[in-house]
Structure 1
């Protein structure tokens, strides 16, 4: 039997083409009832069920006794209907069929199968991904803020605590409490960057998806679209993340932080972190660099402009792209109207704000560079803070420099006559003698050109400014101001290899120590130094404030003529001891240091130390007042100030340096000048300003007067203590005759021997002191103190 013969056949009920319906007659010859097929036990149309052997569903027709049609189901062993195997699948070797039994094309079948598989796989991946994200969310820690986000520039202030001298930092940022700003300031940022900030969960899911696609697929950097996401990126991550994992972590952190931190905290940290252009990080620096004011003083219009340029501040700065800045400003204001921050009427009245000119100057340029460098060095020395600490920790450093005093010093130096050699250097400093606070300092014209501070780092021979140390030594030894010495020039003095002469070869005859101080008589003071001992003069200088390791500070007879080379600040310190009547204080420039949270970190404490008796200093100061009071005194130009002033001029050998140091009971001032050769050697100061020689009583005393005038004019006039008249006058008579010298120098060029021999003291002769003749004081041209633009 063939395969086809074994296959059950389904009998068609359709009429054969060309034939009409046939009716079977039960009485026709040979037309009896048909025998059912093998295995069939019923007639009609049968549909066997799963596992049945021949169950059929019979639909008998009229007069029919055996017409059948069967549809076996899956697993049926029936042989009725269908091809081999039966059912939709068509059996072994047959095509797949739909539920109606029609064959399904294999390509459709395969697609259907692939689609179902892909859907199942996608669901599985989604489920696994969701589980993975959940686990990552739960285990992802909130990291500490990035180091850069916490960096704040330190601010150095003048003595008033408000005038800025300069800002130093790797990032120009000053963190402020945003909650203390006007509400419209932070609401402007909400209108500009994330208008659903207060209602969203911290993440814009569609925006994050776009950022992932642009970042990963197209390689274009794009940050998060909500303020919280931007906050995470800048405050915690510190830079734009470019990989999928980083972007996902940012989004998860945003979700977590949104639940952990108050919205206003997030907004505040964000506003203190973001970059605004012009080197400004954070709202405080931005307000300062664009409008020259603190953030607390921003207007609605200014706030809207700053918030508007955030997406591209360096390109949308109004100074560079006014049109785009205006467009964004309008966008923010419209958002503020929609958010109810301002009314439409208020918005219509707004005008675009005017920004200040921004100049990215070097903070150390000009004279203020010397102030800043000195302050920074002192902070490091007193607090242990490193330069990096200062540039990143947002310290507030208040100095002792008074704006008015600094302005006065700079104006006085600028008034100096023209014609000076280009390598002439000028040092000028003022100081409060009662505290040691440096109130003003001129260390040079431009720190960027010469980094050596003329006040604190350069040295120059002191000249006759050392004579007051010998005077105090004499008073302490019991020698009174009335003691008389031979003041003629070209005098032989024990301990010197050649005769000592006076400036311009002047013969003064027998004069007392008051006159010898006023006229700076070399021959008298060299004799006095021999009487008291050069070691005693050196000791007094050190006790007054001259450092023991000062170059040239030796115990030889010439030390009274200023063979030592101190710094200008050393002379200021030493003469402060005279101004206070014997109390020594250490000079300083840093008054206090406060951390970024306003906690006091360091505060200078002044501890005056008595080093000389008051009566000794009263007599010494009386003699030094005559330097100014006496007509012909080396500092007589300063008498124009019309108040008690004491001081001393000083000029080194061959006019290589010139000084004037003067003081009132409230203020000490030092002016020095010297000329530096190409190899750093001292040169003779080239004459200028109509002077044949530059001495301490010429240009230095004038600069001193010009700078001190404005400083002391508003201070009460205070007298020095009255002369105490201590000690005894000498009783011996001078024994030598003077020999005039045709070409004298302020300091003798002779070299002292190592062991001076004593000389007798002359008999005193009282001489009246002439009254000073006052001259009009030229008015200096003021120059404003400039606050530094970072």
Structure 2
């Protein structure tokens, strides 16, 4: 008995000494490691890396930027079954332990002792939170001890639901998805609250090894992991047998879903991204900023469609330039191989690459990258006359063989099926995966199906731009900087400096009106030669028609776009006077010439600058600054920036407006030319900014009337198709038809369309502002103004209406049959006609014809 007591006593002391040693070792580790541990109270105010998102004014997603896709959700928003799936997979005793699960650690230790390698870490969810937020991913004992100590501290500082919420939002789940909401969107294209039980289990299986158990990369292994988790949920009582059996039977439905933009506005997205990056640096991509732009989704969609339609129409008018490439079908005839080669070619707009595989008398058959056949009828090839030059085309095709040959690599547009079902549309936000999702059939099988109907298309070489501004605020309503952002991200709205041609004339005429001219002023439309020291050569300007029409009223000269009248009007008003006036109304004169060619729009302006000038005309004479960003929020909705409201101001000093102080003091070099940056680092104390009056409202009202005549009676007659009386505007075409413009407005909306080549070259015969640019403007405005009441500038005080003689511009004699009404500023109205002609002939016209060299 005493021997047994001695042995027991020895074992007792050994165990006690072992325990004491363990406590000492643990204490030593704690004392050594604890000072270097980060404070866990940082988790109370943690900022998860969340991408930048750009939205339209009606809250439609435009784009998402950032390395990590994450949408944080509160624990209350997570379905209970999703929580139970993660607990079953990762930590079934989460709500019972204090941060460290002794069973799990013991199991991991036994695995290490028996196999000689670490099989599992025995980590709890709390330990994973500690690792993900504070530690590296290296697998060492020292990191594990740090993880344990941090987990114990976290459990003392935070409640279980908060810890679980941090985990579910932080965990990496493959394919750039961080957190369960991002994973639900990436793999299933829906919110986590809308997932099925099988899909929840699939996502819960990803933390163990996001690449190995990824349903896109390895669906069989992912399904095995999912089914194991479902079995664990049944064992733990989280689901019943019926739910288990239903979920086990569900097929793998995961496919890659890139960030789904509700509207295509890549030029807008890039401007917003660059602006925010300029404000906050790389934090723009990680700190959860949501940028809400002024762009409306419906107007942006209309702008996209209008510009593409107009550029494609121009392109077709000038013929088919031939295939992209020529493939030898004798060497590569298998559909699968052809489809693989086609997949390497980009999709531009909705134009899908294809290769011609068969020709008949009235049909061409081609293969596209998905493996489908497409059929192109002779009717859809009829436009494809061979391109010779901008002014010449070959004969109309009589059969497909006149246009195509076997092996031609072309582009087609599908007519009877959404192209999204066949090939990915151009989209920079879609991330390609290394493993493609499963398809319904092989390319060989698809090639035997009935062909889809398609038309032959080609990517236009011509470019263009469209921008629309809210006239009374300057807010950008829609903007398209080119045919395809993904082919060329050069934003022609803000960066392309081009000659506006006759679209510039209204500003010259407005300057003349404010210097005493009237719509009834007579200017001689006659040939003229200028030998001006400011011009390099002898200058013989002409009207576009090549004809001369004699003395002409200014109103008529503007709506018929008479060049010679505009030149003489500029000379009469004075080049310096006009330059000063242009600067006053907000037009940058640094790129404008100081010679008479200014009257014909020979200076260079961007489409945005032209639109800003027309917004001033549209709103009644107030200078507004164009802006794109309405507000910026961060995190869960805290307001970072709110654009102040614009107030049209008659009395304020132009040089000292709030707009000048608030928006210009932030940066002298905004990243987006023409658009003011937003002040993120400055507290916005003003709720309004002043847009100063820069033009006499009576002169602007008269200009409205004159530009309405451009639409009703002049070069912009095509705009009458809108059936509205509140539309005004001006066409513009430069020398050799290198640039085509239409700038038009009503009292609320100012829109400018430009068409031309990036490297200026002639557009071709009959390609004027009215034929190349006006159709783009018209298609957009048809949508923008649909259902909107007519909006005209109210007539200001000081305007009088007088009957005039249309030939002389003077007040008509009482009872004159050919008299017409004209409007004037009160002080500029023509005098009453004298009742007697005694005293000699009438005074000569103010136009100094004698000073002009006529021939």
Task: Return the TM-score normalized by structure 2.
Answer: 0.65
Q: Is the 8 A contact 2:61 2:260 kept in 1?
A: no
> What is the CA–CA distance in structure 1 between the aligned matches of 2:15 and 2:180, rounded to whole Å?
51
- In structure 1, the partner of 2:331 is none
Moved more, 704-713 or 352-361: 352-361
- In structure 2, the partner of 1:464 is 502
Q: What are the equivalent positions in structure 2 for 1:110-125 lying under 5 Å apart? A: 125=21
> What is the CA–CA distance in structure 2 between the aligned matches of 1:206 and 1:181, rounded to whole Å?
28
How far residue 663 of structure 1 moved from its aligned partner, in angstroms, is: 1.1
Taking structure 1 as reference, are residues 693 and 135 closer, same or farther at Cα in structure 2, changes over 3 Å only?
same
Taking structure 1 as reference, are residues 224 and 491 closer, same or farther at Cα in structure 2, changes over 3 Å only?
farther
Q: Which of residues 218, 221, 239 in structure 2 aligns to 1:321?
A: 218
Q: Which of residues 229, 242, 249 in structure 1 aligns to 2:127?
A: 229
Q: Which of residues 673, 689, 692 in structure 1 aligns to 2:755?
A: 673
Taking structure 1 as reference, are residues 353 and 532 closer, same or farther at Cα in structure 2, changes over 3 Å only?
farther
Taking structure 1 as reference, are residues 460 and 126 closer, same or farther at Cα in structure 2, changes over 3 Å only?
same
> What is the CA–CA distance in structure 1 between the aligned matches of 2:593 and 2:243, rounded to whole Å?
78
Q: Which of residues 472, 476, 501 in structure 1 aligns to 2:514?
A: 476
* CA RMSD of superposed structures (Å): 3.7
- In structure 2, the partner of 1:182 is 79
> What is the CA–CA distance in structure 2 between the aligned matches of 1:695 and 1:152, rounded to whole Å?
48
- In structure 2, the partner of 1:686 is 763
Q: Which of residues 533, 536, 555 in structure 2 aligns to 1:514?
A: 555
> What is the CA–CA distance in structure 2 between the aligned matches of 1:246 and 1:315, rounded to whole Å?
24
Q: Is the 8 A contact 2:505 2:566 kept in 1?
A: yes
Q: Which of residues 773, 783, 790 in structure 2 aligns to 1:700?
A: 773
- In structure 2, the partner of 1:604 is 643
How far residue 304 of structure 1 moved from its aligned partner, in angstroms, is: 2.8
SS of equivalent residue, structure 2 residue 492: coil
> What is the CA–CA distance in structure 2 between the aligned matches of 1:356 and 1:711, rounded to whole Å?
39
Q: Which of residues 608, 614, 638 in structure 1 aligns to 2:697?
A: 614
- In structure 1, the partner of 2:432 is none
Moved more, 457-466 or 220-229: 220-229
How far residue 568 of structure 1 moved from its aligned partner, in angstroms, is: 0.7
Q: Is the 8 A contact 1:658 1:672 kept in 2?
A: yes
> What is the CA–CA distance in structure 2 between the aligned matches of 1:186 and 1:362, rounded to whole Å?
26
How far residue 135 of structure 1 moved from its aligned partner, in angstroms, is: 3.9
Q: Is the 8 A contact 2:494 2:607 kept in 1?
A: yes
Q: Is the 8 A contact 1:152 1:392 kept in 2?
A: yes
Taking structure 1 as reference, are residues 538 and 257 closer, same or farther at Cα in structure 2, changes over 3 Å only?
same
Count of aligned pairs: 615
Taking structure 1 as reference, are residues 732 and 184 closer, same or farther at Cα in structure 2, changes over 3 Å only?
farther
How far residue 546 of structure 1 moved from its aligned partner, in angstroms, is: 2.5
SS of equivalent residue, structure 1 residue 232: helix
How far residue 429 of structure 1 moved from its aligned partner, in angstroms, is: 1.2
Q: Is the 8 A contact 2:617 2:704 kept in 1?
A: yes
Taking structure 1 as reference, are residues 759 and 262 closer, same or farther at Cα in structure 2, changes over 3 Å only?
farther
- In structure 2, the partner of 1:240 is 137
Query: Is 2:401 the partner of 1:401?
Result: no
How far residue 635 of structure 1 moved from its aligned partner, in angstroms, is: 1.5
Taking structure 1 as reference, are residues 212 and 397 closer, same or farther at Cα in structure 2, changes over 3 Å only?
farther
Query: Is 2:621 the partner of 1:726?
Result: no
Higher strand share: 2
Which of these two proteins has the greater Rg computed from alpha carbons? 1
Could you give the per-residue CA deviations for residues 211-238 of structure 1, whole angstroms, max 9, x where no partner exists?
A: 578889956585443111111111222x
- In structure 2, the partner of 1:129 is 25
Q: Is the 8 A contact 2:756 2:763 kept in 1?
A: no
Q: Is the 8 A contact 1:212 1:244 kept in 2?
A: no
SS of equivalent residue, structure 2 residue 506: helix
Task: Return the TM-score normalized by structure 1.
Answer: 0.71
Could you give the per-residue CA deviations for residues 115-167 of structure 1, whole angstroms, max 9, x where no partner exists?
A: 99998985664343133245458656444669997321111111112x21111
Query: Is 2:305 the partner of 1:411?
Result: yes
> What is the CA–CA distance in structure 2 between the aligned matches of 1:534 and 1:367, rounded to whole Å?
44
> What is the CA–CA distance in structure 2 between the aligned matches of 1:520 and 1:666, rounded to whole Å?
25
Q: Is the 8 A contact 1:221 1:240 kept in 2?
A: no
Question: Where in structure 1 are there 5+ consecutive unaligned residues?
Answer: 1-97, 100-113, 678-682, 738-756, 761-790
- In structure 1, the partner of 2:782 is 709
Question: Where in structure 2 are there 5+ consecutive unaligned residues?
Answer: 4-9, 319-389, 391-459, 647-688, 800-822, 831-842
Q: What are the equivalent positions in structure 2 for 1:520-669 lying under 5 Å apart? A: 520-549=561-590, 551=591, 553-605=592-644, 606=646, 607=689, 608-630=691-713, 633-643=714-724, 644-669=726-751
Taking structure 1 as reference, are residues 453 and 129 closer, same or farther at Cα in structure 2, changes over 3 Å only?
same
